[in-house]
Amino acid sequence: MRTIVIAGGTDGIGKQLALQFIRNGEHVIVIGRSSKKGEDLRLEAAKLGGKDRFLFLQADLSLVSENIRIVQQVSESVNHIDLLLLCAQSQKYSKAYRETTDGFEQHFALYYLSRFILSYQFRELLRNSAAPLVINVCAPGVKGDIQWGDLQLRNQRPFNSIKAIMHGSRLNNLLGVAFAQSAEDTNIKYVLFNPGAVQTKGATEAFDHKLIKTWVKLMYKIIGLPVQKAVDPVLHFVQSPPEESLTAYKQNKRLNIAQVIRNKDQSERLLHLTLELIKRKHGNFKIC
């Protein structure tokens, strides 16, 4: 029985995988913001016979302190993690620049900073597994440059959440590189996974404008994968993990890391900048 931790597991891909892993007899810990969705998922897990193999932890993963608290809670519950699945993301479209109470741009905080903290802070528990795997559900293959002088896009005008998410994907690419390099003496495998267009509620209801929402739903119905189909590559990774420390996929197609991440040499730079940002709020933060 594997121990699986899913950040962002009450909706979409994360939820679908949580239920599938419960069916498979695994021990599943789901982290999510909504207590109501967490309770609904607990009831679904119980119906599948997973009452004693499911745990929901409520947290706002856009806050540094919440990520640190969750790491402590999980560490008190289990002695190893076999799979860490990073799915937490807000797809709601916005033209407004918004910050968390920590002072970080919301998408930067949830889509990148949380994944950074959880990846590194759970590394010791991952090392205790015979075949540890981290799957970062992001968007490897997104083209564009990293805004080194403005990582949170504070000065990007006009700002919109799509730009922030795409920029976050490029940051996650370098997170994967840095993590893989730091884990060279371990057997932890790190996968950057782009599921493509998926028919999740978050994606199809990202826009408030009625006409745009209708158009998006139609387009996703045509080009989007059903959630049940979109998770197939992840299930394959779990059963047959890649041999390399870092790999990238778009759906079930393996991507060339050298082409996807052309600035791999910048991973250490991003690592140090990220640590500086976190330590401004939590001075005793360290990566394991």
* CATH number where 262 lies: 3.40.50.720
Same domain, 148 and 218: no
Which helix (H) or strand (E) segment is 28 a member of? strand 27-32
Both tokens of 263, joined, read: 């600035």
The whole domain housing 217 covers 197-227
What CA–CA distance (Å, rounded) separates 14 from 137?
9
Same domain, 62 and 90: yes
Same domain, 90 and 51: yes
The sign of the CA dihedral 197, 107, 56, 275 is positive
Same domain, 93 and 206: no
Same domain, 75 and 136: yes
Same domain, 169 and 54: yes
Q: Is residue 11 part of a domain?
A: yes
Same domain, 120 and 207: no
Cα–chain-centroid distance for residue 6? Answer: 8
Q: Is residue 67 part of a domain?
A: yes
Residue 252: CB atoms within 10 A of its CB come to 12
Same domain, 37 and 162: yes
Q: Is residue 287 part of a domain?
A: no
Which class for 152: exposed (0-12), middle (13-18), buried (19 or more C-beta within 10 A)?
A: buried
Q: Which of 133, 20, 27, 136 is nearest to 82 (CA)?
A: 133
Q: Which of 34, 29, 165, 166 is nearest to 85 (CA)?
A: 29
DSSP code of 53?
G
Backbone angles phi, psi at 50, to 5 degrees: -110, 25
Q: Are the C-beta atoms of residues 281 and 274 closer than 8 Å to each other?
A: no
pTM summary value: 0.92
Q: Is residue 276 part of a domain?
A: yes
Same domain, 99 and 209: no
For the chain, the domain total comes to: 2
Q: Where are the alpha helices (DSSP H) in 106-256?
A: 106-107, 114-121, 123-127, 161-182, 201-204, 210-223, 227-230, 232-239
Residue type, 252: N
Both tokens of 21, joined, read: 């892993």
Q: Is residue 53 part of a domain?
A: yes
Residue 52: CB atoms within 10 A of its CB come to 9
Both tokens of 253, joined, read: 């197609």
Both tokens of 191, joined, read: 């996968």
Q: Is residue 288 part of a domain?
A: no
Q: Is residue 214 part of a domain?
A: yes
Same domain, 216 and 236: no
Same domain, 181 and 244: yes
Question: Residue 50: its pLDDT value, please?
Answer: 92
Per-residue pLDDT of the chain (288 residues; tens, 9 = 90+): 899 999 998 999 999 999 999 999 999 999 999 999 999 999 999 999 999 999 999 999 999 999 999 999 999 999 999 999 999 987 676 788 999 999 999 999 999 999 999 999 999 999 999 999 999 999 887 888 899 999 999 998 888 888 999 999 999 999 999 999 876 778 899 999 998 766 566 654 555 655 555 655 556 566 556 778 889 999 999 999 999 999 999 988 999 988 888 788 899 999 999 999 998 877 777 776
Residue 18: CB atoms within 10 A of its CB come to 27
Place of tokens 């949830």: 110
